[in-house]
């Protein structure tokens, strides 16, 4: 098996990747003598980092040494200096990251009454002598803390005093109980397969659609333990499997969003055999496609004369279509 030296790899980087920085997983296959060799330039860049930058982003005292000729060859590559500068910036920024315990203390200090929003970040003042601000993502921090609590991940362990301070918050126990329940549900989801849920739909809801909050208890083991299955929610999670483009072909997941429940072709066919499914699915998809228009109509100052009496039952699709036609007129 041929093993290329570092100098040889640097020569190849200069020869094959001079015009464009390689991606991390790029592979260049070549013949070396009587053998074939897979050169990975992106991996080489990772291996070169200790020869130029220390862990704090400093370029003066790198932990490894490289020959002057090899360094000059690398620095002659047009994109290499920019890559090196960006590496230094990232290393310096990472060196200023605060500890996980400090992040938990910031949550205790800044969310004394109400729990933080899930997907929000906020600038807060650090609790050290620097006085610097720190961009705190409390949802991400709490997710990591849950990994320690429920999976014993020692990376996110905090001191007993910090843990006591956190659980003294008025919302902390409710957060803990929700996190525990989510993990129980996730564990049961692995036990109760998609095919088991599809079987319930085929056997119990062949002639009618399930109601949104209707629940069916599924026995999932020999002990008689029950899994609370909500078929309406399950159907809502799988609708994106059935989006189609204008040409009738299935739309790609990055266009409509990956379904929360992904089905294979056989599972799709089984669902479409239910008499009411295709019509129901088409209505749901059209409703979702018209939601942006309906929101725009609701926030518009135009009088659309599209109010519906309480006693009338009008499909959301028909209502939005009527309003749109009124505006165009």
Which residue from 41, 33, 53 is spatially nearest to 14, judged by alpha carbons? 41
pLDDT digits (tens, 9 = 90+) for 262-310: 899 999 999 999 999 999 999 988 888 887 777 776 665 544 444 434 3
Q: Which residues sit opposite 36 in a β-bridge?
A: 31
Residue found under tokens 């209505």: 283
Q: Structure pTM?
A: 0.43
Which residue from 97, 104, 96 is spatially nearest to 156, judged by alpha carbons? 104
Domain definitions of the chain by residue range: 6-95, 100-182, 192-275, 292-328
Report whether 270 contacts 202 (CB < 8 A): yes
pLDDT digits (tens, 9 = 90+) for 8-25: 999 999 999 999 999 888
Residue 100 CA, distance from chain mean position: 21
Gap between the terminal Cα atoms of the chain = 76
pLDDT in tens, the chain (329 residues): 688 899 999 999 999 999 999 988 899 999 888 888 999 999 999 889 888 887 655 666 666 788 899 999 999 999 999 998 888 876 666 557 789 999 999 999 999 999 998 788 888 888 877 666 778 899 999 999 999 999 888 999 999 999 999 999 999 999 999 999 888 877 777 778 889 899 999 999 999 999 988 999 988 777 888 888 899 989 998 998 988 643 444 544 444 567 888 899 999 999 999 999 999 999 988 888 887 777 776 665 544 444 434 333 344 445 445 444 444 44
With H, G, I as helix, E, B as strand and everything else as coil, classify residue 5: coil
Structure tokens at 314: 């009008």
With 0-12 / 13-18 / 19 or more C-beta atoms within 10 angstroms meaning exposed / middle / buried, residue 213 is exposed
Structure tokens at 40: 């990975």
């Amino acid at each position: 098996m041929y093993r290329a030296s570092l100098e040889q790899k640097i020569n190849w980087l200069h020869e094959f990747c001079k015009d464009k920085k390689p991606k991390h997983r790029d592979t260049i296959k070549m013949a070396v003598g009587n053998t074939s060799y897979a050169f990975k330039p992106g991996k080489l860049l990772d291996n070169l980092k200790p020869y130029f930058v220390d862990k704090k982003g400093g370029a003066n005292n790198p932990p490894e040494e490289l020959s002057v000729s090899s360094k000059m060859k690398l620095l002659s590559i047009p994109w290499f200096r920019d890559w090196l500068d960006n590496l230094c910036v990232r290393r310096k920024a990472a060196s200023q990251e605060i500890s996980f315990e400090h992040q938990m203390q910031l949550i205790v200090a800044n969310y004394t009454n109400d729990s933080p929003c899930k997907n929000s970040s906020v600038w807060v003042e650090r609790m050290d002598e620097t006085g610097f601000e720190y961009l705190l993502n409390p949802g991400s921090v709490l997710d990591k803390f849950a990994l320690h609590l429920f999976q014993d991940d020692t990376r996110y362990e905090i001191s007993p005093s910090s843990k006591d301070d956190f659980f003294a918050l008025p919302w902390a126990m409710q957060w803990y109980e929700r996190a525990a329940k989510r993990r129980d549900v996730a564990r049961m989801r692995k036990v109760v397969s998609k095919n088991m849920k599809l079987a319930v739909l085929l056997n119990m809801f062949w002639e009618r659609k399930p109601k949104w909050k209707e629940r069916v208890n599924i026995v999932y083991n020999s002990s008689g333990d029950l899994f609370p299955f909500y078929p309406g929610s399950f159907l809502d999670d799988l609708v994106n499997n059935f989006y189609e483009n204008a040409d009738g072909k299935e739309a790609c997941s990055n266009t409509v969003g990956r379904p929360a429940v992904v089905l294979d072709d056989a599972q799709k066919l089984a669902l479409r055999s239910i008499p009411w499914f295709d019509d129901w699915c088409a209505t749901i998809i059209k409703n979702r496609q018209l939601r942006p228009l309906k929101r725009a109509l609701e926030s518009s100052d135009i009088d659309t004369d599209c109010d519906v009496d309480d006693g009338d039952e009008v499909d959301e699709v028909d209502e939005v279509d009527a309003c749109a036609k009124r505006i165009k007129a």
